Amino acid sequence: MIESKTTEELEVTIGQQLRNLRLRQNIDQRQLADQAGVALNAIKNLEGGKGATLSSFIKILRALGRTEWLHSLSPEVSISPLQMLKAKPARQRASRVKRAGNV
Q: Quote the pTM value.
A: 0.67
The predicted structure's pLDDT at residue 51: 86
Half-sphere exposure of 61 (CA within 13 A, CB side): 15
* CA distances, 93 to each of 90, 96 (Å): 10, 9
Residue pLDDT, tens place only, 37-81? 999 999 999 999 998 999 999 999 999 999 988 887 776 667 766
Q: Among 34-38, 48-52, 91-95, which range has the highest average pLDDT?
A: 34-38
Domain ranges of the chain: 2-74
pLDDT band at 21 (very low <50, low <70, confident <90, very high): very high
CATH 1.10.10.10 fits 2-74, yes or no: no
Answer whether residue 13 shows pLDDT above 90: yes
